[in-house]
Structure 1
Amino acid sequence: MSDDLKRDGNAFRAEDEADLVALLGSRLCHDLVSPLGAIHNGLELIELSGSTSGDEMALIRQSLDAALARIAFFRLAFGSAARDAVIPQRDLRAAISAMYRESRTEVIWRDEEDRPRSEIRLACLALLCVETAIPWGAKIEVTRNPNAWVFHVDAKRLKIEPALWQALGRGAVLADLTGAQVQFGILARACRALRRPVSVSADETHLSLLV
């Protein structure tokens, strides 16, 4: 782990942890407002013009696809994970492809196995954590070893907030999380419940995460 991420601290008490349910609601609303708002604007343009142009329909289609992709991915990341549910890898690849199609990020999914939904949930939460570090885009390679998901991130520049990653490594939920950071709290709590250690290392252009 890099020097920036090695610093440890006292674990928070349960009553000091963030309200993850409320933060999740904020996160879902924030991420879906933009594409749904674009759909609304496209429909308004159609109503005002009295006709349907290719540009207007393209805007609506792109925004609707983005909203549906986000909802499908959020269902995997934030939805309940039944013990015996299994996600086919083709379905997961389709969800990831749709999620990042219009972004500057490329996700290379190396795992070929169908996995329990509980495992896919961890991987999707980890991807959302990685997203916070790559606002300018990146290449993310995801593999699976016998014990953990492994994420290797290469970018021209990373935005690392050490406190988030330090808490994740300890399985702690910070008290001052925002809605955009709720995935860190949920992943930390899930890993703590499963007794899954988390390992993080990062520098200015590379990040490695084991979950």
Structure 2
Amino acid sequence: MTSSHDGLPETAQGPAAESEPFDLFERWYGEAESSELNDPNAMAIATTDANGLPDVRMVLLKHRDTRGFVFFTNTESAKGREIAENGQASGVLHWKSLRRQVRFRGPVEQVTPEESDAYFTSRARDSRIGAWASRQSSALPARKVLEDAVQAETARFEGRDVPRPAHWAGYRIRPIYLEFWSDRPFRLHDRLVFTRMTPRGAWEHGRLYP
């Protein structure tokens, strides 16, 4: 059995699907960490507002396991409000150096306070200060207003630890759909798809036309 350029074993029918998509994700992610120049954990996250209008932005994947994909943000931001209203999201990681991408979608849950605390503590102090100073997604009348807020929070926490604000937390997207896309010549790309009915269900897999 040989291997294709996307790292999947070749069969007579082409690259073979694995029964557990997170194993494949870990392999691809590890290769992306070695090949991407910047931020292999950068991912686009899409939510929808109260009118059903899609809203997408880049965030950083900070944790992943068989439960799903975790990012952190201000819960009062646009994405925080939209998740509270809709409870679902989709995401994509694109690795240009490998000519691969992974798409996923599913319900969203907040991680435990302990998980949020652990990651918040690992951040640079100035980033923790910023989480207190920024009213993320709110209208900013002038840059100086933000700079003054940063100075005020820096003075407030001088000489002591910067705790996690109540409005800052982690979110886990629990995929019910995972797609592994690999570039192929003449746009005849390979699309390996895993689906399940619920975040705790068994995976089924197959392929889509490019």
- TM-score category of the 2 structures, normalised to the smaller one: under 0.3
More strand by share: 2
Name which one, 1 or 2, has greater alpha-carbon Rg: 2
Higher relative contact order, structure no. (Cα contacts within 8 Å, ≥ 6 residues apart) = 1
